[in-house]
Structure 1
């Protein structure tokens, strides 16, 4: 096929030899199957910010850092340079997460390089060399659903032990080959300790798994692995080998309404102070 202009830069730099086919086009990137010497890999070409249909980038960028204070200020002001920095942070988040998670034992594609908005990484394939199917495209038995669900919950635990929450985990970004599930699509991965929305994102990730697999194994619908995992993490008790039950005891003590109101008021005052600070910087 004809080589897209942005991928031609990788060919010119000798990072790959040719583009074989387009694999898929999603809300944030288009993925191509490419040849690098005698290796078949994939090239993930990120879409420009205006072309992405993923509209919640701000929530995922909280807690991400940049190289220096000038870049941080530019990102806050939304200048042209700042928007360029935001794109680099967005793209590099996936590369950083892939390396970190691979080191932690999470089953993710091996990254090779991110160059000019294109991430080059291993192609997840089956033993006969075919592109591995998405979980959503595979018919599962009751037993298979239980096994894959358990394996993926373990992957979620490994990710959180490495300080990362996927943030968009579902049956659509999990591939299956003979070794089991492989997790993909991580540009929205967040720092569990640095993002205030991390708990909610973890709950959603785990609930997505529960809702999908409970179609094949209905008993999974009553599990509460997300809450159990997060409670253990916050308490400093979560380990890669932690035995989970999927059961969370309900709190017996009454809600402290006064404390909740105080927290809301504190958050409001902090938001007002931050808005005032940004107005002063802008002026």
Structure 2
């Protein structure tokens, strides 16, 4: 075959080779904001971390990163006066507080150079490849994504889907904390959410965290008082149509003799979730069992009556 015939043959193959068909996009369909395995918010956050890592300007005071306040979603107003919003502030890692299946909690100090700063708890959900959200199917009932592609990815638990689930957990926890703090619930103030990291008010003294309820050995009078505080917290959540969803003596803290509730990524909308009332009743039974084990009489917890009262408060009688 002559040279120009060979070139013509290659040109024919290149122009006539069938192309992979692509799904048509409708005019009213929004442009995708996610791609690959990472959500767009996580992609932006990681790009910013890489940029900070290669910056020529050293972070002052031995800090680990510049404040992420300007890029984050902020907590509700009125904002406590200890929240540091200056962009010149730096974050310094102080160590890890708690590890869990879904996230780890770190201790972080945020402050301007040469100042004492404020100690915060940084809850960081792990990357999709290593994340294990236990029993998440029931909690996700009532939460719906707008895009069917995202819903399919979540249901199939693909890498992209697990990343979406992680983002939903972080958003759900930050939203619940903001809502509950606004109505006066005993929760830590949610300072900000940046991707899958939530910065929270640190409950403790100095750098020592407040003990979990499970670690406390209260005297009879204090035990009664802690139960009444817990019941009041459950009533306040029910008034907002919510149940904790996984309540136990391990996600209640005793901070300066007051009950504080933490770990709310699985918060359940009692009305929207078909199993909402079951989650509510389980919360009550679980925490009452702990109080019984410490010697509180069942006549004081009155579990069946409390469950009915919570149903009525939530408007579900």
Alpha-carbon deviations, 1:113-148, whole Å to 9, x = none? 22232111111114x663111111111111111111
Pick which of 220-229 and 105-114 moved more: 220-229
In 2, the alpha carbon distance for the partners of 1:86 and 1:54 equals: 9
Q: Per the alignment, in what secondary structure is the counterpart of residue 204 of structure 2? A: coil
How far apart are residue 213 of structure 1 and its match? 0.9
**What does 1:153-164 correspond to in 2, within 5 Å?**
153-164=231-242
8 Å Cα contact 1:156/1:165 also seen in 2 = yes
In 2, the alpha carbon distance for the partners of 1:96 and 1:235 equals: 22
How far apart are residue 199 of structure 1 and its match? 1.0
In 2, the alpha carbon distance for the partners of 1:108 and 1:89 equals: 20
Residue 105 (structure 1) aligned to one of 165, 184, 197: 184
Residue 227 (structure 1) aligned to one of 307, 311, 317: 307
In 1, the alpha carbon distance for the partners of 2:160 and 2:294 equals: 49
- Whether 1:35 aligns to 2:114 is no
8 Å Cα contact 2:227/2:291 also seen in 1 = yes
Aligned position for 1:120: 199
Flag the 1:73–1:36 CA change in 2: closer, same or farther, 3 A. Answer: same
Aligned position for 2:209: 131
In 1, the alpha carbon distance for the partners of 2:129 and 2:149 equals: 24
Alpha-carbon deviations, 1:170-217, whole Å to 9, x = none? 100111111501100011111111111111111111112211111233
Aligned position for 1:14: 67
Flag the 1:206–1:79 CA change in 2: closer, same or farther, 3 A. Answer: same
Task: Normalising by structure 1, report the TM-score.
Answer: 0.73
- Mark the structure with the bigger radius of gyration: 2
Aligned position for 1:206: 284
Aligned position for 1:46: 125
In 1, the alpha carbon distance for the partners of 2:216 and 2:250 equals: 11
Pick which of 103-112 and 84-93 moved more: 84-93
How far apart are residue 84 of structure 1 and its match? 2.9
**What does 1:60-209 correspond to in 2, within 5 Å?**
60-68=139-147, 71-76=150-155, 78=157, 80-126=159-205, 130-209=208-287
Flag the 1:234–1:17 CA change in 2: closer, same or farther, 3 A. Answer: closer
Task: Normalising by structure 2, report the TM-score.
Answer: 0.65
**What does 1:218-257 correspond to in 2, within 5 Å?**
218-220=296-298, 223-224=302-303, 225-233=305-313, 235=315
Alpha-carbon deviations, 1:200-249, whole Å to 9, x = none? 11111111221111123341366224422343146568xxxxxxxxxxxx
8 Å Cα contact 1:61/1:90 also seen in 2 = no
8 Å Cα contact 2:188/2:260 also seen in 1 = yes
